[in-house]
Amino acid sequence: MARVVVDVMLKPEILDPQGQAVAGALPRFGVTGVTSVRVGKRIEIDFAGEPDLDQARLIADRLLANPVIETYTVRIEDEAGGARPQPSTAGAAA
Amino acid sequence: MSVVVGVVTFPGSLDDRDAVRAVRRCGGTAVRLWHADDSLHGVDAVILPGGFSYGDYLRCGAIARFAPVMETIADAARGGLPVLGICNGFQILCEAHLLPGALVRNEHLHFRNRDQRLRIGSVASAWTNAFAPGQEIVIPVKNGEGRYVADAKTLDELEAEDRVIARYVGGNPNGSLRDIAGIRNEAGNVVGLMPHPEHAVEELTGPSLDGQGFFHSLFRHLAGAGAVAAR
Taking the C-alpha atoms of residue B103 and residue B90, their distance in angstroms, rounded to an integer, is 8
If you ran DSSP here, which 8-state letter would residue B160 be given?
A: H
Please check whether residue A83 is in contact with residue A77, taking contact to mean a CB–CB distance below 8 angstroms. Answer: yes
Residue A21 lies in a domain: yes
Domain span at residue A56?
A: 3-85
Are A17 and B67 inside 8 Å of each other by CB?
A: no
The answer to whether the beta carbons of residues B142 and B113 sit under 8 Å apart is: yes
For B184, half-sphere exposure in the C-beta direction (CA atoms, 13 angstrom radius) is 28
* Domains located in chain B, CATH noted: 4-222 (3.40.50.880)
Measured distance CA(B182)–CA(B195) in Å, rounded: 8
Contact A22 B63 (CB under 8 A): yes
Q: Are B131 and B120 in contact (CB under 8 A)?
A: yes
Q: How far apart are CA B44 and CA B42, in angstroms?
A: 7
**Which stretches of B79-136 are DSSP H helices?**
88-95
- Classify residue A81: in a domain, yes or no: yes
Report yes or no on A11 lying in a domain: yes
**Chain A closest-CA separation from residue B75 CA (Å):** 15
Tell me the one-letter amino acid at B79: G
Q: What is the pLDDT of residues A34-93, one digit of tens each?
A: 999 999 999 999 999 888 899 999 999 999 999 999 999 999 987 655 655 554 444 444
The whole-angstrom separation of Cα B205 and Cα A4 is 51
Q: Tell me, what's the pLDDT at A92?
A: 44
- Asked if the structure places residue A51 within a domain, the reply is yes
B38, B3 contact by CB (below 8 A): no
pLDDT above 90 coverage of chain B, percent: 96
Report the chain B residue with the minimal C-alpha distance to residue A41. Answer: B58
User: Would residue A93 count as lying in a domain?
Assistant: no
Are the C-beta atoms of residues A79 and A21 closer than 8 Å to each other?
no
How many Å apart are CA B33 and CA B209, to the nearest integer?
26
Whether residue B66 lies within 8 A of chain A, CB to CB, comes out as yes
CB B126, CB B218: distance < 8 Å = yes
Do B201 and B212 contact (CB within 8 A), yes or no?
yes
Mutation pick from B63, B72, B92 vs chain A, by most beta carbons of A within 10 Å, is B63
Taking a C-beta distance cutoff of 8 angstroms, is the pair B146, B118 a contact? no
Chain B contact present for A39, CB below 8 A: yes
What pLDDT does B227 receive? 46
Q: Find the CB nearest B66 among A18, A29, A39.
A: A29
Question: Domain containing A42 — which CATH number?
Answer: 3.30.1280.10
pLDDT value, residue B14? 96
Chain A nearest C-alpha distance from B56 (Å): 9
Residue spans of chain B under pLDDT 70: 1, 225-231
The answer to whether position A74 is within a domain reads yes
Q: Do A18 and B55 touch (CB under 8 A)?
A: yes
DSSP label of A39: -
pLDDT over threshold 80, residue A94: no
Residue B45: CB atoms within 10 A of its CB come to: 25
Of A17, A18, A25, the CB nearest to B66: A25
B136-143 and B180-184 strand pairing: unpaired
User: Would you state the pLDDT for residue B191?
Assistant: 98
**CB count in 10 Å sphere of residue B18:** 21
Closest Cβ opposite residue A21 in set B55, B68, B71 = B55
Report how many domains make up chain A: 1
E strands in chain B: 4-9, 29-34, 45-48, 83-86, 102-104, 112-120, 136-143, 147-149, 164-169, 180-184, 190-193
Query: How many angstroms away from the CA of A82 is the closest CA of chain B?
Result: 24
Contacts of B213 (CB under 8 A, 6+ apart): B128, B130, B131, B137, B197
Residue B106 CA to residue A81 CA, distance in Å, equals 29
DSSP annotation of A62: I
Q: Is residue A18 in a domain?
A: yes
